[in-house]
Structure 1
Amino acid sequence: MAETEANRRGRDGGGGELTVGSHRRGGPVPAAAASATSVGSRSAGRNGWAQPAAPGTAATDPGEADLDPRPDPPARDRYFDTLRAVALVRVVAYHTFGWAWAGMVFPSMGVMFALAGTLMAKSLERPALKVIRGRLRRLLPPFWFWGVFVVVAMLIHDWMPGWQIVYWIVPLGDPPGNAWGEQAWEILWYLRTYLWFVLLSPLLLRVFRLAPVPVLLLSLGPILALHFAWEPPDNRLGSALTDLATFLFCWILGFAHRDGVLRRLRPSAVAALSLAALAYGGWYAFTHQAETGSYDLDDIPLAQAFWSAGFVTLLMYAKDHFRIDFARLTRFRRLDRLVTVFNARAVTIYLWHEIALILAVPLIDRFWNVPAFETYLPLESQWFMFGVGWILIAVFVLLCGWVEDVAGRKRPRLVP
């Protein structure tokens, strides 16, 4: 597959289910991943999305209605919807341009995991087994559909799979692949992390509600332990433990928002602790560049964990404290429609965005053979590649997005 900057830094992306990932390192999926999951490099991006509810308004979930059918679905929370859409755009931008500073401007994967945590806390008002089964049903079919194309393409390009191919059925570990297809499959770290958070959430939520604030603060402990006390093995287990520890705070922060814990905290305490986390994360990233060659948060889990913790806490606390809901977004119909599509197709965008960027390279190469294109189009610009990538993403949304509808037991649509 074509080589891009994202192949070296793919760990971004983005995410909550589309929380809604990235490359090692970088959500969410992630997507996305996303929701699914919440989605590109180790950020992205891939998972499910929820609807608002008091006291801490929950993120909206386009697939929630099929689990709890109602005649009139509750209004969507446009603040969370907008955050998820921005996270997906940032994941695609990161995988196009490879900006090291992108994660500091907007930590997509932290945002997506926090939104997914909020949704999960809301959903667990129902029986846990039913919720987990619903999450798996909405996440796995789009993953399988996408995976068929990637696996067949790698087989054609001389890949010889072993027993680890089972991770292409249920990604509890990083699915295997060859170097030819690495840029496409490296984003699956977000789906794997999201899936583990879903499975662990009934226990995590129970522990959180025993002592909300202490548990929230202590959720940064695992990443500190993995960094300073015990180095995880360089294998699937080590990768999974590192990712879970990195984004554990953000997931539990979603619990805190849903349960109204954040809303009850003093603004001065939230601001002080959040700024301290940002300061430590930023300081660690800039003072340890020699270890990774960059201050990119996707390559520095400890810095990622603290920067995301501080940044996302401020975002979620601001929603309640300043009563931000972005309700006026509905006045801009085209923009509101775009946000709706991004949320309803978060898993699709996260899974297919890297393939879109890969295909953009040979497509642009063909443009050089057309004199008018060569003269008038900025074919050498990465911004042009970014635009072509989004056109191809839109094509994939039209061709493949219906799988998300089927997985959610809804009538398939070209555009939601």
Structure 2
Amino acid sequence: MTTPPYDPATLSPTPSPALPEDHEVTAPPALPDATGPAPQAPPAEPPRPAPVRDRYFDLLRAVALFRVVFYHLMGWAWLPVVFPSMGVMFALAGNLMARSLQRPAVRVVRGRMRRLLPPLWLLGAVGVTGMLVQGWGPDAEGHPAWWWLHLLYWVVPLSDPPYAEGLPGLHGIVGEDWATELAGPLWYIRAYLWYVLLSPFLLKALRSLPWATILSPVALAAALEFGWLHIPYGRIDSAVTDFSTFGACWILGMAHQQGILARLPRYVVPSLAPFVAAFGLWYALTHGFKEGHDLDDIPFAQSLWSLATVALLLHISPSWTQWPRRLRRWDRLITLLNSRAVTIYLWHNVCILVAATVWDDLWNIDTLADHEAWLLDSPWPVLALAWSLVALCIVAFGWAEDLAAKRRPRLWPDSPAAARGSTGTRRHRT
């Protein structure tokens, strides 16, 4: 091999003589690779599309949440018939859980628990502290040896967390027995946790025996209702009863995500669901509904009515990626309700109690009592005041949901980015 001649003045290679314009320059032949052909780089995987929210599901969740607050204030027994909120909320959660289980089950379950529990811990930190300050303790529960152990249910609610009953309130601010109202929504957290833990097994059963799996909770509800199955221990009985009542809705949501419902002929669900709903309503009417009880007091009827209603709502399912024109004005409100669903559900009972207590205290003003009694008797101002207090709870406690989801905390998450659970970078939904 020769080196190019150097110009001694510049120590740089001397230029080569110019080639004629018609001279063809050819590349030197490639030398054979002694080790064989060069390995080719594997083709780059296409980027995974960012998850797209189903705005129809967001609408259902927002309506369900509003109906829960409305019902707990008004107490109208027909409201759960018009819209069975709990069945709808469990179905939407089951749908999301089935989608998440495309990833390892342990990771998904851990992620769901991480999102669910911190808002509960914040509620417990406030509530249990208040109960202890007002004298609640082992003697009040009658089992001092186990009392502290039962407090662990405020950490992982595999059963109903303990709470004090009959506590005095704060005059003019919080009514009596406030701890009972605070603990009222906790059954939903406990039921949700059990559904999450059972979902990997339910999904396997659903893929093997879809309709037997969907209808098994209803069969369990019938066995409990007609006395074919008796569970003596109260804590286990409450968990089994909740599973039998709303388990079919959770599994139906999973079946919708897995495409099982889509494989049915389009006429099947609209043809069968009304008969199931009618039977559930007939059973409710003949077993206490007219005597002031609601569907929550008749689990078997609730399971049938919720199953039929959820089946119809999932059958309609337009799968909106964007809002229809008529609903765009509600985008920010619906986004807020979805972003703070757990906070609203956990705190709304206390907000209603405070609103009712403050409003009732206005009867002590003689002018209002004498001339505006109709206004003091109206529940609508209490509803407005309750939602105002819910808004304060969103600001005061809602950040726990952001921390649980590993998002940047926000005081008022009503933007579409908050609904997507994103802060500018794509995250997996768990």
User: Residue by residue, what CA displacement relative to the aligned partner does 1:167-219 show, whole Å, maximum 9, x if unpaired?
Assistant: 11110001111213111102100000000000000011001101223322334
Contact 1:118–1:251 under 8 Å retained in 2: yes
SS at match of 1:412: coil
Report the counterpart of residue 213 of structure 1 in structure 2. 211
User: Residue by residue, what CA displacement relative to the aligned partner does 1:244-295 show, whole Å, maximum 9, x if unpaired?
Assistant: 11111101101110011111212332123211210111011000118x9434
**Does residue 410 of structure 1 match 2:407?**
yes
2: CA distance, partners of 1:362 / 1:215: 46
Q: Which has the larger radius of gyration?
A: 2
SS at match of 2:269: helix
Pick aligned residue for 1:91 from 68, 78, 90: 68
2: CA distance, partners of 1:235 / 1:215: 25
Report the counterpart of residue 248 of structure 1 in structure 2. 247
Pick aligned residue for 2:224 from 223, 226, 232: 226
Pick aligned residue for 1:175 from 137, 140, 161: 161
Q: TM-score, normalised by structure 1?
A: 0.78
**Does residue 202 of structure 1 match 2:237?**
no
Shift of 1:365: 3.7
2: CA distance, partners of 1:346 / 1:372: 40
Where structure 2 has 5 or more consecutive residues not aligned to the other structure, the ranges are 1-46, 139-146, 166-176, 414-430
Contact 2:184–2:349 under 8 Å retained in 1: no
Report the counterpart of residue 383 of structure 1 in structure 2. 380
Contact 2:217–2:245 under 8 Å retained in 1: no
Contact 2:74–2:379 under 8 Å retained in 1: yes
**Structure 1: which amino acid aligns with 2:281?**
G
Contact 1:405–1:411 under 8 Å retained in 2: yes
1: CA distance, partners of 2:50 / 2:236: 40
Contact 1:78–1:329 under 8 Å retained in 2: no
Pick aligned residue for 1:103 from 77, 80, 99: 80
Report the counterpart of residue 258 of structure 2 in structure 1. 259
**Structure 2: which amino acid aligns with 1:267?**
R
Contact 1:341–1:415 under 8 Å retained in 2: yes
**Does residue 311 of structure 1 match 2:334?**
no
Shift of 1:138: 0.8
User: Residue by residue, what CA displacement relative to the aligned partner does 1:107-153 show, whole Å, maximum 9, x if unpaired?
Assistant: 00000010000001000001001001111111111100011111111
Report the counterpart of residue 343 of structure 1 in structure 2. 338
Contact 2:67–2:85 under 8 Å retained in 1: yes
Say if 1:289 and 1:160 are closer, same or farther in 2 by CA, change over 3 A: same
User: Residue by residue, what CA displacement relative to the aligned partner does 1:368-411 show, whole Å, maximum 9, x if unpaired?
Assistant: 56688766692221111111100100111011111110111110
SS at match of 1:379: helix
Range 323-332 or range 268-277, more displaced? 323-332
Sequence identity of aligned pairs in percent?
48
Task: Summarize the alignment of residues 125-144 of structure 1 with structure 2, pairs less than 5 Å apart.
Answer: 125-144=102-121
1: CA distance, partners of 2:293 / 2:365: 40
Report the counterpart of residue 74 of structure 1 in structure 2. 51
SS at match of 2:409: coil
Shift of 1:346: 0.2
Range 384-393 or range 261-270, more displaced? 261-270
SS at match of 2:267: helix
Where structure 1 has 5 or more consecutive residues not aligned to the other structure, the ranges are 1-69
Report the counterpart of residue 3 of structure 1 in structure 2. none
**Structure 2: which amino acid aligns with 1:125?**
Q
How many residue pairs match? The answer is 343
Report the counterpart of residue 427 of structure 2 in structure 1. none
Shift of 1:332: 5.1
Shift of 1:155: 1.5
Contact 1:329–1:335 under 8 Å retained in 2: no
Contact 1:277–1:307 under 8 Å retained in 2: yes
SS at match of 2:375: coil
Shift of 1:330: 6.5
Say if 1:410 and 1:328 are closer, same or farther in 2 by CA, change over 3 A: closer
2: CA distance, partners of 1:105 / 1:211: 31
Shift of 1:328: 3.1
Report the counterpart of residue 397 of structure 1 in structure 2. 394
SS at match of 1:328: coil
2: CA distance, partners of 1:79 / 1:372: 48
2: CA distance, partners of 1:305 / 1:380: 35
Say if 1:286 and 1:178 are closer, same or farther in 2 by CA, change over 3 A: same
Contact 2:54–2:319 under 8 Å retained in 1: no
2: CA distance, partners of 1:87 / 1:199: 24
SS at match of 1:415: coil
1: CA distance, partners of 2:267 / 2:217: 21
2: CA distance, partners of 1:244 / 1:217: 12
Shift of 1:333: 4.8
Range 236-245 or range 271-280, more displaced? 271-280
